C-alpha cells in the first residue's frame, strides 16, 4: 500500500483544507521550519493509526470547523482506497477522552467502525486473513506500527540513545511480526508473577497452620503435666483443706446453706470476697478513728470567748440612745449660736454703714435730725461709733458658738465610743454562739462516728463470743488475723489447684486432642494443595523460560535474515571510519529479552554495544536512518510500501548527507519515499539524484512557501523524467 494524496482540515496548525499530492515514487516536501512539514507527516500517521505520533491534540489550534484527514492509497494490486479519519467528539476538553472514527472506501464498499478498523489492521499488521486475533488496541502496538514506516524528526536517535535495550526488543518484535508472541510472553509473565505471589501467600497460610498445630501440641504437653501433678495429690489432702476453709469462713457471716453447698472454687471466691470486705472495713475503721480523734481534740479545748448578756447589750443601746439625744440638742444649740452670731454681724454692718453715710453729709446741722451741731464734735462721735461697732455684740456671740461646738464634739465622741463598745459586745456574743454551734455539731458527729465504728466492729466480729464489744484497735487486730489466715489458705489452694481441677483438665485434654487432629488434617490438605501449586509454578516458570527463548530465537532468525540488507545499507552510508560492521544482538537479562545494536571493527576485533556514546550526533543520525530502512525493507512489518522521513538531515555533515542520498537511491526502487527538509540545497540534490529515468515514474517536489493561521500555502512541482541514468557535473 502506497500513498497518492492527503487532504488535511482542522488538524494541528492547519485550519483550512489543504491537499498534498503524494502520487509519485519520491515526494520531497520543502519548507522552512514551522511551515507544517511535520504536520503533514503526523496527519498521514494519524489517518492510519488514529493516534497522534507525538501524543498531541490533533484538533486545530484555532478551533475552526471539522477535524479530519483523508488519505488516498493504492494497494499492491492497484486497488484504490480512501481512508478518512475524523474527530467524533470535537467539543471534548479532555485529551484522554477524545474519540476518533474512521471510514474506508474500497471499491464500491464503504466500511465504518469495527470493519474499517479491521481493514486497517490487516494492512498494518501485514496479515492476509480477514479476521485478526488481535487488534491495534494498545498504545505500544500503535507506536510500533507507526515507527515501522514513519521516522520522526525528533526521534532519529531515540532507538539508539534514549530507548532502553528491552524497549528496543519490544519495538523490533512489533516490526518483525512477533507482536502476538511478545504479548503472549508478557501476559504469561504477568500471570506467572501473580501465580507466584498467590503461592507465596498460600505458603504463609500453610506456615500459619503448621504453627497452629505446634501451638496445640504445646498446650497438650502443658495439660499432661497438670494431669500428672493432679494425680500426685490424694483426695484426703483436698478434704482436709476444705474442712479448714469451712471452719474459717464460719466466722464470716455466710449462711450455712451457702457454705455446705460451696465447691472448693466457690470457697476460694468467698474467701477472696471476705478478704476484700475486711480490708475495706479496716481502712474505713481507720478513717473513722482519725476523724473521731480530730473532733475529740477540738472538744477538749474550752471556749475562749466571754459570755455577753442581753441585759448588757440593752444597757449599751439605751446609753447610745441618750447620747444620740444629747447630740441632737448640741447640734441645735450650735445652729442657734451660729444664727445669733450672723444676726449680730448684720446689725454691726448696718450701723457702720449708717455712720459712714452720715460722715459724708456732716455740716453745721445734723444730717439725720437737722438740729444745729458742732461739726468737729459730730465727726469725732461718728468715727467712734464706727470703731466701737466692729466689736459690739460679736465677742459674746462668738464665744457662745465656740462653746456649743465643743459640747457637740464631746457628745459625738462619747456616742462613737459607746457604738464601738456595742458592736464589740455583739461580735463577742455572735462568736460565742458560732463556737457553741460548732461544738454541738462536733458532739453529734463524734456520736455518729462511734456508732458507725460500732456497726463495723459488730459486722466484723458478729460471731465473736465476747460479751463486750472490743475497742476499735482490738477489732483491727482481729480483722488482720482473719485476713492472714484466709491468705494462707488461699496460698495452700494454689498447690492443690491441679488436684481440684483434675476433671476439667481431663476434659480440656480431650478437647485439645480433637483440636490437634482437626488442625493436622487441615494442615495436610493445605500442604498438598501448596505442593500442587508449587509444581504448577515450576512448570509455568519453565514454560515462561521456553517462551522467552522461542521469542528470542524467532527474533534472531528474523535478524539474521535482514543482516545482509543491513550490511549493504550500513556500507552505503559508511558512518564510521573504523567501525565498518554492524549487527543486532539479543540476550536475556534478569528474565527480560533485550536488544542492543553493536558496531564492529573486524580488523581490531572490537565491539561497541553502545553506539549512542561511540558515535557523533551526525554519525548516530545516519546510523538511525540505516536501521530504520533496514527494518522496513528486511522485516516488512506492514503492507505499507511507503517510508516517511521527517527532515532526516538534522545534524548530518556533508559526507553523511551524500551517503544518505545514495542510501535513498538504493531504496527508491523498493519503497515510495516521502522526505521533508528545510534545506533547499538538499531538496535540489534529492530531485537531481533521484530524478525519474522512465516516463512512467514521477518525482513530486512540494514547496511550502508561506504559513499563516489558515495553514501552509502549497506549490506542487513535477520533476521531469530524464532517461539518462548518469551525468557528469561540470567542474
**H or E element: which one contains 71?**
strand 68-74
- 8 A C-beta contact, residue 55 and residue 727: no
Task: Judge whether residue 84 has pLDDT over 90.
Answer: yes
Give Cα 552 distance to the centre of its chain: 45
pLDDT score for 162: 56
pLDDT tens per residue across span 175-221: 555 666 677 777 888 888 888 888 888 899 999 989 998 998 898 88
Other Cβ atoms within 10 Å of 531 Cβ, number: 11
CA-based nearest residue to 316, from 328, 306, 324, 304: 324
Q: In this predicted structure, what is the pLDDT of residue 102?
A: 93
Among residues of the chain, what percentage have pLDDT more than 70?
80
Q: Is the distance from CB of 599 to CB of 577 less than 8 angstroms?
A: no
Q: Is the pLDDT of residue 53 over 80?
A: yes
Distances (CA, A) of 142 to 135, 262, 264, 371, 563: 10, 87, 85, 156, 26
**Whether the predicted pLDDT of 673 surpasses 90:** yes
Distances (CA, A) of 509 to 179, 218, 496, 506, 530: 64, 12, 19, 5, 31
Write the DSSP symbol of residue 360. Answer: T
For residue 471, pLDDT over 70 is answered with no
Cβ contact 58:12 at 8 Å: yes
The model's pTM: 0.53
Judge whether 57 and 85 are in contact, CB under 8 Å. Answer: no
Least confident window among 149-158, 611-620, 645-654: 149-158
Asked whether residue 325 carries a pLDDT value surpassing 80, the answer given is yes
User: Is pLDDT above 90 for 21?
Assistant: yes
Contact, 1 vs 74, CB < 8 A? yes
The predicted pLDDT at position 4 comes to: 94
Q: What are phi and psi of 106, to 5 degrees?
A: -135, 120
- Choice among 220-224, 379-383, 521-525 with the minimum mean pLDDT: 379-383
Which range among 382-386, 599-603, 647-651 shows the weakest confidence by mean pLDDT?
Answer: 382-386
Asked if pLDDT for residue 371 goes beyond 90, the answer is no
pLDDT band per the 50, 70, 90 thresholds, residue 467: very low
Separation of alpha carbons 642 and 664, rounded Å: 12
In tens, the pLDDT along 257-295 reads: 444 556 667 777 777 887 888 888 888 888 888 888 888
Looking at every residue in the chain, the average pLDDT score rounds to 79
Amino acid at each position: 500500500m502506497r500513498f497518492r494524496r492527503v487532504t488535511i482540515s482542522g488538524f494541528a496548525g492547519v485550519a483550512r483544507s489543504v491537499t498534498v499530492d503524494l502520487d509519485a515514487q519520491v515526494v520531497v516536501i520543502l519548507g522552512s521550519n514551522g511551515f507544517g512539514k511535520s504536520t503533514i507527516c503526523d496527519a498521514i500517521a494519524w489517518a492510519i493509526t488514529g493516534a497522534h505520533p507525538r501524543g498531541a491534540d490533533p484538533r486545530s489550534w484555532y478551533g475552526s470547523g471539522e477535524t479530519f484527514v483523508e488519505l488516498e492509497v493504492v494497494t499492491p494490486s492497484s486497488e484504490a482506497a480512501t481512508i478518512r479519519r475524523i474527530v467524533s467528539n470535537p467539543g471534548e476538553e479532555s485529551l484522554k477522552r477524545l474519540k476518533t472514527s474512521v471510514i474506508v472506501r474500497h471499491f464500491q464498499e464503504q466500511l465504518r467502525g469495527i470493519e474499517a478498523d479491521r481493514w486497517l489492521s490487516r494492512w498494518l499488521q501485514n496479515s492476509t486473513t480477514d479476521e485478526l486475533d488481535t487488534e491495534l488496541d494498545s498504545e505500544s502496538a500503535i507506536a510500533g506500527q507507526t515507527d515501522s514506516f514513519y521516522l520522526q524528526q525528533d526521534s532519529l536517535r531515540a532507538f539508539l540513545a534514549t530507548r532502553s535495550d528491552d524497549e528496543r526488543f519490544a519495538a523490533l518484535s512489533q516490526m518483525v511480526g512477533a507482536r502476538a508472541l511478545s504479548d503472549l510472553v508478557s501476559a504469561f509473565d504477568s500471570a506467572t508473577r501473580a501465580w507466584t505471589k498467590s503461592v507465596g501467600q498460600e505458603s504463609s497460610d500453610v506456615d500459619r497452620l503448621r504453627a497452629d498445630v505446634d501451638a496445640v501440641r504445646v498446650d497438650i504437653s502443658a495439660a499432661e503435666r497438670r494431669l500428672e501433678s493432679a494425680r500426685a495429690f490424694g483426695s484426703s489432702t483436698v478434704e482436709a483443706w476444705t474442712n479448714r476453709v469451712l471452719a474459717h469462713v464460719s466466722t464470716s457471716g455466710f449462711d450455712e446453706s451457702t457454705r455446705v453447698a460451696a465447691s472448693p472454687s466457690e470457697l476460694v471466691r468467698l474467701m477472696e470476697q471476705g478478704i476484700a470486705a475486711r480490708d475495706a472495713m479496716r481502712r474505713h475503721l481507720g478513717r473513722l478513728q482519725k476523724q473521731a480523734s480530730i473532733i475529740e481534740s477540738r472538744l477538749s479545748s474550752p471556749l475562749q470567748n466571754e459570755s455577753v448578756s442581753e441585759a448588757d447589750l440593752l444597757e449599751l443601746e439605751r446609753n447610745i440612745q441618750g447620747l444620740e439625744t444629747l447630740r441632737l440638742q448640741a447640734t441645735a444649740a450650735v445652729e442657734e449660736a451660729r444664727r445669733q452670731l450672723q444676726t449680730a454681724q448684720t446689725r454691726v454692718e448696718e450701723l457702720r454703714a449708717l455712720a459712714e453715710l452720715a460722715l459724708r453729709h456732716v455740716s453745721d446741722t445734723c444730717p439725720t435730725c437737722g438740729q444745729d451741731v458742732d461739726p468737729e464734735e459730730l465727726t469725732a462721735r461718728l468715727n467712734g461709733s464706727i470703731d466701737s461697732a466692729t466689736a459690739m455684740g460679736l465677742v459674746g456671740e462668738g464665744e457662745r458658738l465656740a462653746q456649743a461646738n465643743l459640747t457637740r464634739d464631746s457628745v459625738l465622741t462619747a456616742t462613737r465610743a459607746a457604738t464601738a463598745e456595742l458592736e464589740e459586745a455583739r461580735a463577742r456574743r455572735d462568736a460565742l454562739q458560732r463556737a457553741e454551734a460548732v461544738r454541738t455539731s462536733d458532739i453529734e458527729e463524734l456520736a455518729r462516728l462511734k456508732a458507725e465504728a460500732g456497726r463495723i466492729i459488730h459486722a466484723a466480729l458478729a460471731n465473736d463470743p465476747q460479751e463486750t464489744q472490743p475497742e476499735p484497735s482490738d477489732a483491727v487486730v482481729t480483722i488482720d488475723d482473719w485476713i492472714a489466715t484466709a491468705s494462707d489458705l488461699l496460698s495452700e489452694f494454689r498447690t492443690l489447684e491441679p488436684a481440684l481441677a483434675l476433671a476439667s483438665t481431663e476434659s480440656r485434654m480431650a478437647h485439645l486432642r480433637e483440636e490437634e487432629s482437626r488442625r493436622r488434617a487441615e494442615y495436610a490438605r493445605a500442604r498438598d494443595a501448596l505442593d500442587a501449586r508449587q509444581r504448577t509454578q515450576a512448570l509455568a516458570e519453565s514454560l515462561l523460560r521456553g517462551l522467552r527463548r522461542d521469542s528470542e530465537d524467532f527474533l534472531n532468525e528474523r535478524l539474521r535474515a535482514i543482516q545482509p540488507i543491513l550490511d549493504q545499507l550500513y556500507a552505503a552510508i559508511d558512518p564510521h571510519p573504523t567501525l565498518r560492521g554492524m549487527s543486532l544482538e539479543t540476550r536475556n537479562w534478569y528474565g527480560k529479552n533485550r536488544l542492543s545494536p553493536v558496531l564492529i571493527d573486524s580488523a581490531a576485533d572490537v565491539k561497541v554495544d553502545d553506539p549512542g556514546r561511540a558515535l557523533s550526533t551526525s554519525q548516530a543520525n545516519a546510523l538511525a536512518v540505516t536501521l530504520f530502512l533496514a527494518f522496513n525493507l528486511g522485516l516488512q512489518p506492514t503492507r505499507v510500501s511507503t517510508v516517511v522521513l521527517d527532515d532526516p538531515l538534522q545534524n548530518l555533515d556533508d559526507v553523511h548527507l551524500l551517503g544518505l542520498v545514495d542510501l535513498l537511491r538504493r531504496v527508491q526502487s523498493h519503497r515510495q519515499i516521502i522526505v521533508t527538509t528545510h534545506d533547499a540545497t538538499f531538496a535540489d540534490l534529492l530531485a537531481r539524484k533521484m530524478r525519474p529515468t522512465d516516463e512512467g515514474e514521477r518525482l513530486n517536489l512540494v514547496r511550502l512557501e508561506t504559513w499563516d493561521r489558515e495553514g501552509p500555502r502549497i506549490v506542487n512541482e513535477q520533476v521531469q523524467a530524464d532517461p539518462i541514468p548518469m551525468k557528469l557535473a561540470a567542474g
